[in-house]
Amino acid sequence: MSERSEHIVYIRPRSSWASMDLAEFWASRELMYFLTWKELKVRYKQTAIGVLWVILQPVVTTIIFAIVFSNVTNFDSPGIPYPLLVLSGLLLWLYVNIAIVFSSNSLVGASDLVTKIYFPRLILPLAPVFAGLIDLAVGIVVLFIALSIFGLGFSSSMVAIPLFLLLSGLLAAAIGILTAALNVRFRDIKFALPFALQIWMFSSPIFYPINILSERARMLLSFNPMSGIISGFRSAIFGTPFDWPLIGTAAAMTVLWLAISILVFKKMEDSFADYI
Amino acid sequence: MPITSEISTNGSGSAPTAITVSGISKRYLIGGPHNNSLRDAIMGLVRNPLRERRQELWALRDVSFDVKKGERIGLIGRNGAGKSTILKILSRITRPTKGTAQIHGRVVSLLEVGTGFHSELSGRENVYLNGAILGMRKAEIDAQFDAIVEFSEFGRFLDTPVKHYSSGMYMRLAFSVAAHLDPEVFIVDEVLAVGDSAFQRKCVNKMREIGRSGRTIFFVSHDMEAIKRLCSRVIWLEGGRIKEDGNASEVIDTYLQSVSGFTAEAAASMSIEERLAVSGLRGEFDNAIREQNITALKKILRQVYITDSEADAVIEFELGQYS
């Protein structure tokens, strides 16, 4: 009877411990790919300017901030023109922000799938995180164009860029997974999330360089992983010195959040179909 | 490789087990505070827990059965008997409260045709997306692609977004994807109400073909004729328990007798009006006519021994009268 290697599915009551079936998750990588591809394909369908939205949002915001803040105060940091400071921070922030918004709605928005078909549920909140990487790549091309407009060249520190993209992806995944799971049980997430993201944005060094803050404020901000990620990303782009303690803290916090999120998700996963 | 699965004591026709269900129960908590917001969840902790007790509903109680490899089993019962719950548990969409089950081989469950289809994507794109969601590898979809398209009788609309399709076309394509999955265990719920009657026949034939090739099929429908055509064994659920389990036509006859209150032989000498009156389904029938709910009408008519084609005629007549 073993024309194929026998595969047995065991069905048991909810176990009290969250378990992670990595083999199954790996086996579903093609589904991950298809859902990411669908996410991208569908996102800009029926929009008049399509993928231009990806460029328009950071560029226009950057211009507005550059005009407003150059008249109000001086946020110059050595060697980094203010518009580029804003654009570099904004690109990562928008990636994380948009990925989390789509992720948090990924389970509730796919309730037909969740109640009708079995597959590793973790794929749903992860798809927007992968899909956002494409938008981010477009944004980074725009950033390089802006660099050359401002007469800045390449620096060898740029090899570190992927590290900070990876960290921002992991952070987006962590918060996306957590909010997606909580959203199934507590629709409060829908109201709380935009508000929380706004607070998070202003407590991240997007529109200002982190070194203008007081020692105490910087201490506080280091608990926000976006601080280290944005600071490191800027150092990589502009060749300024890396603040490794800050970056290390951000990496540790990101991994911690990711672990917590996956645990919470796995713990709640079995009852998604009953509550959604 | 499990040794237990090889043991079978069913005489000469012994086949290995495909599904083992042992003592499955499923409890749902209904009523009381819906913990759908954080406030309710917190208040629920603070308040006297005895005051707003949530009601327990046992959708399944201690259900056990074995399915042999290659068996085609029909699951019948009234609404709320637990049919969907058992399918959801076997499909791993929800977990049992008690009991365990084992399924040998790759399972594909089709609880609804077209789940995961996206209206903005083209037919071709949806075949790939839907195939992947149902557990197919891209290579498998590539290999089956032409067969899927041919079965769906589609062809030239394949690159049009599916939102421009009629719902019948859409469903046909969706069923075609599912029919070409090649699973070892196929769990199917009410999906044969797809397309016109010619296509429905094609679907049933395809399912029989799947069944003949040694695949195990677990099938839920209100269409007793389709179950009789497809299944050799029927499990009848009532109130979350197995009421009867055995030969398909015998179980179906007993079931129909219990819902209508008379036997098939008795029905032969009664008019449709009489049958509705005796079975107490007159009220439901009138409601369905008023709501023009064809699915409900067919279901009611089937319960009083009216075949598919007769039902169509009755419905056409009644709706014509009404409008």
Contact list, A41 vs chain B (CB under 8 Å): 120-121, 125
Q: Compute CA B130 distance to the chain's CA centroid, rounded to the nearest angstrom.
A: 19
Q: Which of A7, A30, A185 sits opposite B138 (nearest CB)?
A: A30
C-alpha to C-alpha distance for B132 and B42, rounded to whole angstroms = 40
Please judge whether A13 and B99 are an interchain contact, meaning their C-beta atoms are less than 8 angstroms apart. yes
Task: State residue A67's pLDDT score.
Answer: 86
**CB burial of residue A241 (10 Å; 0-12, 13-18, 19+):** exposed
Give how far Cα B156 sits from Cα of A181, B111, B176, Å: 41, 28, 16
Number of domains making up chain A: 1
Q: Which residues on chain A are in Cβ contact (under 8 Å) with B107?
A: 9
| Sign of the C-alpha dihedral computed for residues B174, B158, B122 and A123 taken in this order | positive
Q: Is the pLDDT of residue B4 over 50?
A: no
Length of chain A: 276
Tens digit of each residue's pLDDT (9 = 90 or more) over B137-172: 899 999 999 999 888 887 778 888 888 887 778 788
**How near does any CA of chain B get to the CA of A54, in Å?**
20
Greatest Cα pair distance in chain B: 64
φ/ψ of B101, rounded to 5, equals -145, 155
Residues of A in contact with B63 (CB under 8 A): none
pLDDT at A1 over 60: no
Nearest to B202 by CA among B176, B181, B228: B176
For residues B170 and B114, the answer to whether their CB atoms sit within 8 Å is yes
Among B253, B299, B234, B239, which residue's Cα sits nearest to residue B75? B234
Q: Residues B108-132: what's their mean pLDDT?
A: 87
Q: Which pLDDT belongs to residue B109?
A: 84
Q: What percent of chain A stands above pLDDT 90?
A: 57
Strands B216-220 and B185-189, bridge-based pairing = parallel
The answer to whether position A14 is within a domain reads no
Confidence of residue B1 (pLDDT cuts 50, 70, 90): very low
pLDDT of residue B45: 59
Taking the CA atoms of A227, A233, A239 and A243 in sequence, report the sign of the dihedral they define. positive
A58-62, A234-238, B231-235, B267-271: segment of lowest average pLDDT: B267-271
Question: Which of A38, A42, A276 is the best substitution to test chain B (most B C-beta atoms within 10 A)?
Answer: A38
Three-state SS at A10: strand
Tell me whether A38 touches chain B (CB under 8 Å).
yes
Instruction: Report the distance separating Cα B86 and Cα B237, nearest Å.
Output: 10
B289: which 2 tokens?
A: 């006519």
Residue B309 pLDDT exceeds 80: no
pLDDT at site A200: 96
Average the pLDDT over A46-66 and give the result.
85
Q: What is the mean pLDDT of residues A112-133?
A: 93
Among B100, B104, B133, the residue with its CB nearest the CB of A117 is B133
Q: Residue A185: pLDDT above 80? A: yes
Res. A206: pLDDT tops 70: yes
Total Cβ atoms within 10 A of residue B152:
26
**Do A36 and A132 contact (CB within 8 A), yes or no?**
no
Which H or E element spans position A136? helix A123-149
What integer pLDDT is reported at residue B48 of this predicted model? 54
Best B19, B58, B93 member to test A by mutation, with max A CBs in 10 Å, is: B93
- Most A CBs within 10 Å, among B14, B92, B188, to test the A interface: B92
Q: What is the dihedral of CA B244, B246, B250, B255, to 10 degrees?
A: 20
- Calculate what percentage of chain B has a pLDDT beyond 70: 85
Contacts of B203 by beta carbon, 8 Å cutoff, 6+ apart: B175, B179, B191, B192, B194, B195
pLDDT at B14: 64
The answer to whether the beta carbons of residues A210 and A127 sit under 8 Å apart is no
Q: How close does chain B come to A78, measured CA to CA in Å?
A: 47
Which residues in chain A have their CB less than 8 angstroms from residue B94's CB?
270-271, 273-274
Query: Chain B partners of A1 at a C-beta cutoff of 8 Å?
Result: 6, 16, 69
> CB-based contacts of A1: which residues, under 8 Å, 6+ apart?
B6, B16, B69
Q: Using an 8 Å CB-CB cutoff, list chain A residues near B98.
A: 13
Nearest to A188 among B37, B69, B97 (CB): B37
C-alpha triplet B58, B61, B67: angle, nearest 5°: 135
A259 φ, ψ to 5°? Answer: -65, -45
The verdict on A195 touching B (C-beta cutoff 8 Å) is no
Residue B68 three-state SS: strand
Whether the CB of A27 is below 8 Å from some CB of chain B: the reply is: no
Residue B115 to residue A2, Cβ atoms within 8 A:
no
**Angle B144-B147-B148 from CA coordinates, rounded to 5°:** 80
Residues of chain A with Cβ-Cβ distance to B128 below 8 Å are 34
Q: Which of A8, A41, A185 sits opposite B35 (nearest CB)?
A: A185
pLDDT category of residue A76 using cuts at 50, 70 and 90 = low
| Tens digit of each residue's pLDDT (9 = 90 or more) over B202-220 | 887 888 888 888 889 998 8
pLDDT at B128: 92
In a domain, A2, yes or no: no
**Domain layout of chain B by residue ranges:** 263-322
Q: CA Rg, chain B, in Å? A: 22
Average pLDDT, chain B: 81
- Measured between beta carbons, which residues in chain A are less than 8 angstroms from residue B103? 8-9, 11
Sign of CA dihedral B124, B127, B130, B135: negative
Residue with tokens 């800009």: A44
State whether B137 and A30 contact (CB < 8 Å).
yes
Q: Does A159 touch chain B (CB under 8 A)?
A: no
Contact B91 A14 (CB under 8 A): no
Flag whether pLDDT at B191 surpasses 70.
no
Q: Do A273 and B137 touch (CB under 8 A)?
A: no
Which residue is associated with the tokens 């390089």?
Answer: A144
Residues of the domain holding A185: 22-275
Question: Quick check: A11 and B95 CB within 8 A?
Answer: yes
Is residue A222's pLDDT more than 60? yes
A5: confidence class by pLDDT, cuts 50, 70, 90: low
At B114, the pLDDT band (50, 70, 90 cuts) reads confident
Confidence of residue A140 (pLDDT cuts 50, 70, 90): very high
Backbone angles phi, psi at A25, to 5 degrees: -65, -40
Helix, coil or strand: residue B230:
helix
